[in-house]
Amino acid sequence: MTFPNSSNINVASLNGIKHLGNFISDIQYNSGAIPSNKDGSHDPWDHLEAVMGLATLGFHHEALRGLEWMKENQNKDGSWFNLYQDNLALERNKQSNFSTYMAVAVWHFYLLTNDASVLKYFWDSIERGLLFALSLQNKNGAIAWNVDEFGAIDEDYLLTGCSSIAKSIECAIAICELSNKQDLQSKLTIARSNLLHAIENPEGIFDLKTDRSRFSMDWYYPILSGAKQENNFENLINKIEDIFWIKGLGIKCVADEPWVTVAETSECSIAFKKLGQDQIAAELLLNAAAIVGENNVPFMGWQLEEQIYWPEEQPSWTSGALILAADANNKLTPASDLFTSNQFKP
């Protein structure tokens, strides 16, 4: 497949993707917020994915501004709202996986810079976000995905969201280990163990209201979560290869939609890299790097039937996901194993 804009991205070097850092930094607001949608809005998770993209490419000042935005806009209960326009909250529900991802971004920055003062500075924000999520943990280990604007907890549990939370807790434990925060480390270790047990034994626990198995994320995010799924990984891989992977193009976001997306392809590349499937991981990375515009910035995805970039948007977090996948595959920075290795001593 030859796309309308042939890619000149060299994902094997930082210089080859540095223009993506320029792209993200150019659209960053003065507040530090990084918009990801066409209307200039963003959610906290997407914002942090773009922050990590910046940090990977050496845009440390801009990345710190992005982390500072998180600190300044955190709610008193440790959460963040669902959607923002710069500093203005547009949707006031609160997702649990949004509240924990700060731990991943700050730990990532530390791995890149070896600057422990960053861990100390952002720790209060990280801790409060974690405690918000843990307040939503069910006795079965899973964590409810959302609290609405009136404070009602949605008693549903998303496999993808909980997998992201598990990785966030893992990074927080690494910070605790380094910072000698033993009391919280113990609490997080227990919570993570219970959460991973749910991810390893998902039947009857997740997606109780809506079947989300048609989304590719439900199949590769458990691989990234830190769960031990030796007996299940073959099933996960087969599902991805049989249903979601369009050879030569990338990973479909949804099984029954003719649409491959750069973010899913990039994240799935990291999952295969974690499994030691280096050849597949590298192929997926190249697939993701090919779906770009004339500025060599990735579009959200490619519509297979209409043969068009769709939607015609270039989200900042999509570039962030591609940057992180390039690092994971090609070991470009000291943080390259962030998603492929356990971040604390077992």
| Residue 231 pLDDT | 63
Identify the three-state secondary structure at position 152: coil
| Residue 73 pLDDT | 98
| Residue 5 pLDDT | 67
* Mean pLDDT, residues 135-159 taken together: 98
Contacts of 324 (CB under 8 A, 6+ apart): 49, 52, 53, 56, 266, 270, 338, 339
| Residue 46 pLDDT | 98
pTM: 0.97
pLDDT reading at 175 higher than 60: yes
* Mean pLDDT, residues 179-186 taken together: 95
Looking at residue 252, the DSSP 8-state letter turns out to be B
Q: Which of 12-16, 17-21, 233-237 has the lowest mean pLDDT?
A: 233-237
Mutual angle of helices 316-330 and 278-290, in 10-degree steps: 150
Hunting for tokens 């590298």 — which residue is that? 282
| Residue 191 pLDDT | 98
pLDDT reading at 6 higher than 60: no
Domain 14-330 top-level CATH class:
mainly alpha
183-206 tens-digit pLDDT: 999 999 999 999 999 999 999 999
CA distance 33 to 49: 12
Strand 83-85 versus strand 88-91 pairing type: antiparallel
Share of the chain above pLDDT 90, in %: 94
CB 270 within 8 A of CB 288: no
| Burial (Cβ within 10 Å: 0-12, 13-18, ≥19) of residue 341 | exposed
* Mean pLDDT, residues 242-246 taken together: 97
Q: Which two tokens stand for residue 163?
A: 């997998």
Q: What is the residue-wise DSSP string for 260-299?
A: EEHHHHHHHHHHHHHTT-HHHHHHHHHHHHHSB-TTS-B-
| Burial (Cβ within 10 Å: 0-12, 13-18, ≥19) of residue 71 | middle
